[in-house]
A and B are shown apart, each in its own frame.
Chain A
Amino acid sequence: RKEVEQDPGPFNVPEGATVAFNCTYSNSASQSFFWYRQDCRKEPKLLMSVYSSGNEDGRFTAQLNRASQYISLLIRDSKLSDSATYLCVVNSPSGSARQLTFGSGTQLTVLP
């Protein structure tokens, strides 16, 4: 089983739609969680950290469910500029060689 699993998509949604991505992680000792977005041929950019209480930044809402070991990202009122690959990232203490573990990414295309 992969340490961090995401639905690869692609998700093709019309402008204005609400879209949700889920991500599961296998290490119950994981302590920090992030969503990054990566545009084609660009570097990953931090979108938001994910806190236990859930957090919101404008149209983006992130949730963490430690009991079920999953993280979600909700995008409301999708814009064309939201088209990107969204990477779920987990920072786990176990396994000395690990710092950040990346999911494979979920590709989102917002259509006009």
Chain B
Amino acid sequence: DTEVTQTPKHLVMGMTNKKSLKCEQHMGHRAMYWYKQKAKKPPELMFVYSYEKLSINESVPSRFSPECPNSSLLNLHLHALQPEDSALYLCASSQEAGLAYEQYFGPGTRLTVT
């Protein structure tokens, strides 16, 4: 079962709101990722967690705050976002954060910032 789940599917938030995106996988994968994807563009890596520790932050603004409570869960806390942050936010996981491993993506959360 190569399933990664994400909630919510859609989110509309104002610039002063605080919200969280959630991601879960039960494949025993030890690496989890957050990506941002704008329309007609490829996904852009935001964060990588390896064994529940943040290993890569792609210079993401601090209004995005990741959290990995355990090996199956990944959250992305959102605060004071800008309209240009509106995008599809994808979570992915892989067996390890190494070079040879395929990543499996969740269905994404479509975020609109008003």
Q: What residues make up the interface of A, taking CB atoms closer than 8 Å to B?
A: 31-32, 34, 41-46, 49, 87, 91-93, 96-100, 102-105
Q: Least Cβ distance of A48 to chain B in Å?
A: 9
Interface of A is mostly: loop
Q: Inside 8 A of B48's CB, which chain A residues have their CB?
A: 99
Interface of B is mostly: loop
Tell me whether A102 and B100 are in contact in the complex, defined as CB-CB below 8 angstroms, given that A45-B105, A97-B56 are known contacts. no
Sorted from nearest, which 3 A-B pairs have the closest CB atoms? A102-B42, A43-B105, A31-B99
Tell me whether A43 and B106 are in contact in the complex, defined as CB-CB below 8 angstroms, given that A97-B58, A98-B45, A99-B48 are known contacts. yes
CA distance A43 to B42 in the complex (A): 11
Chain B interface residue count, Cβ-Cβ cutoff 8 angstroms: 24
Q: What residues make up the interface of B, taking CB atoms closer than 8 Å to A?
A: 2, 33, 41-43, 45, 48, 56, 58-59, 88, 90, 97, 99-108, 110
Tell me whether A44 and B105 are in contact in the complex, defined as CB-CB below 8 angstroms, given that A87-B42, A100-B45, A102-B42 are known contacts. yes
